[in-house]
Amino acid sequence: MMIRVSKQELLELPSLLSAMGYSVIAPIRTGGIVKLAPLGSDIQPELEYVRVVNSPKKFLLPDDELLFRYRSTATITSYGLKIRFPTAEGPCPVAILPEYNPVRERLALFGIHQCMVNSVRYLDTVMLRDPADPYYKNRRDGMFIAELDCDAGDEYCMCRTLGTYKVPAGYADIRMRKSGDGYLIEEATEAGKELLSKLKRQDVKGKYPISVPKMVKDFELVTRDDQEIDAKEASRSLVACTLCAACTVTCPTCYCMDIEDKFSLIDPSNVGRTRTKMSCQRRCYSTIAGGTTFLAAKEERFKWRVKHKFPFSINAFKLVGCTGCGNCIACCPAGIDFREFVGRRVA
């Protein structure tokens, strides 16, 4: 079913979604930028935008996520700096009794562009392959995606080259696009059908149009192979790289994570195992016991990032890890453009 609605009617959808029990996340304009954030009742989602500086990753793989808690019988009243391990009391090692309480929250992503829908697809491929990540799965199950078609990218976009302007089947529950002074909405799943039925609109005849977004700069991919990337010169454009890691932080598909134990002084025997974000641009990403850093130079780290997006992902998941959203270029203080490294400009 496809319906035509006015902008006002389209903006009713978020409240309909919350009424269905979803926590709605939508692009919101604030301080000159647009970012995805939980939608309050008094805020309107932004519909006329090109890029969001964060991505669904922020909500699907949140930073500092508590995986579980465990109790140890460690005490710290000892004198001196001595390690005290929890000691098993009797034959039963009661020391480690993990507590795990999955929380169920149904998320709805409203008005995200195709590149971000594709990033969800990539994260799904990584996180849901056997064995599935339970925390990710929990959030992903029953999630609602309302996709909003993007018609023209900015100077950093590359979705046309990568084909990520197409929404893969099953990833968007409804698709929306601007048409004239109103919007066309097409249902794509059962959940989408249920939502649209609440608008009580007449079915519009015809096919949901598919268009290729206009690009400011067009590129074709020339370097995507492991060895080719290694052999290519990159150091010149990287002089200005400050290793701030904005590229990996804002990337919608960078999923590297660290897992560490966190405790508090309130109850040091109560340890929380947490998952925090990690970046290949950081030194500790590739530093191992003894102090060797595999990726020491800027060039190596940049190439590692590009390799993870292209050859590594193609080999491991049969899917390109780059969705062409351009966040890594738009957010780079030095304006380092990986497209010029892996691609060639075409007129």
Partner 1 sequence: MKLAFYALTSCEGCLTTLITNLGPNLEGLWRMFDIDYFKLVREPVGGVRIPKADIAFVEGAVVTDRDRKTLNEIRNNSSFVVALGTCASSGNIAYTASRAVDLDAKHLRDLEISPAEPLSSVVAVDFELSGCPVSAKEFTDALLRLINSMEPIQPDYSVCYECRSKGNPCLLDAKRVCLGPLAMGGCGAACPTVGSPCYSCRGPAVEADLNAYLIVLEKKGIGKERALMMLRMFTGKKAKELLKDEQ
Partner 2 sequence: MIQESLEKMNPYIPKPATVIAVKNESLETKTLRLELYNWRTDFVPGQFVQLLLPGVGEAPFCIASSQSDQKHIDLTIIRRGILTTSVHYLRPGDAVGIRGPFGKPFPLEALEDRDLLIIATGIGIAALKSLIIYAVENRKRFNNVMLLYGARFIEDLVYRDELKQWEKSIDASITLSKAPPEWQGLRGRVTDHLGALNIGKGTVAAVCGSPTVMSSIADALVVHGISTSDIYVSLERHMKCGIGKCARCLIPGGKHVCTDGPVFRLSEISAGAIGE
Distance CA 147, CA 119 (A): 12
Which residue lies nearer to partner 1 by CB, 48 or 228?
A: 48
- 78 in contact with partner 1 (CB under 8 A): yes
Question: Which residues contact residue 121 at a Cβ distance below 8 angstroms, ignoring those fewer than 6 apart?
Answer: 168, 171, 319
DSSP state of 293: B
Q: Which of 210, 296 has the CB closer to partner 2?
A: 296
Q: List Cβ neighbours of 41 (8 Å cut-off, separation of 6 or more).
A: 15
Nearer to partner 1, 33 or 47 (CB): 33
Two tokens at 62? 């949140």
User: What are 326's two structure tokens?
Assistant: 């351009």
How far apart CA 191 and CA 289 sit, in angstroms, is 49
Nearer to partner 1, 271 or 320 (CB): 271
Q: Do the beta carbons of residue 306 and residue 312 sit within 8 Å?
A: no
Nearest C-alpha neighbor of 32 from the set 334, 330, 336: 330
91 alpha-carbon distance from chain centroid: 45
Q: Closest Cα to residue 36, out of 94, 104, 85, 108?
A: 108
124 binds partner 2 (CB under 8 A): no
239-298 binders of partner 1 (CB under 8 A)? 239-246, 249-250, 262-268, 277, 279, 282-284
Length of the chain: 347
| Choices 96-104, 155-163, 184-192, 322-330 (CB under 8 A): range interacting with partner 2 | 96-104
> Of these, 154, 218, 226, 340, which contacts partner 2 (CB under 8 A)?
226
Residue 67 binds what, of partner 1, partner 2, none (CB under 5 to 8 Å, by partner type)? partner 2
| 63 binding partner 1? (CB under 8 A) | yes
347 binds partner 2 (CB under 8 A): no
Sites of contact with partner 1 (CB under 8 A): 31-33, 35, 37, 53-54, 58, 63, 76-83, 239-246, 249-250, 262-268, 277, 279, 282-284, 331, 333-335
Sites of contact with partner 2 (CB under 8 A): 67-68, 70, 72, 74, 83, 85-88, 92-98, 100, 126-127, 129, 131, 133-134, 226-227, 230, 255-261, 263, 271, 273, 275, 278, 285-290, 294, 307-308, 311-316
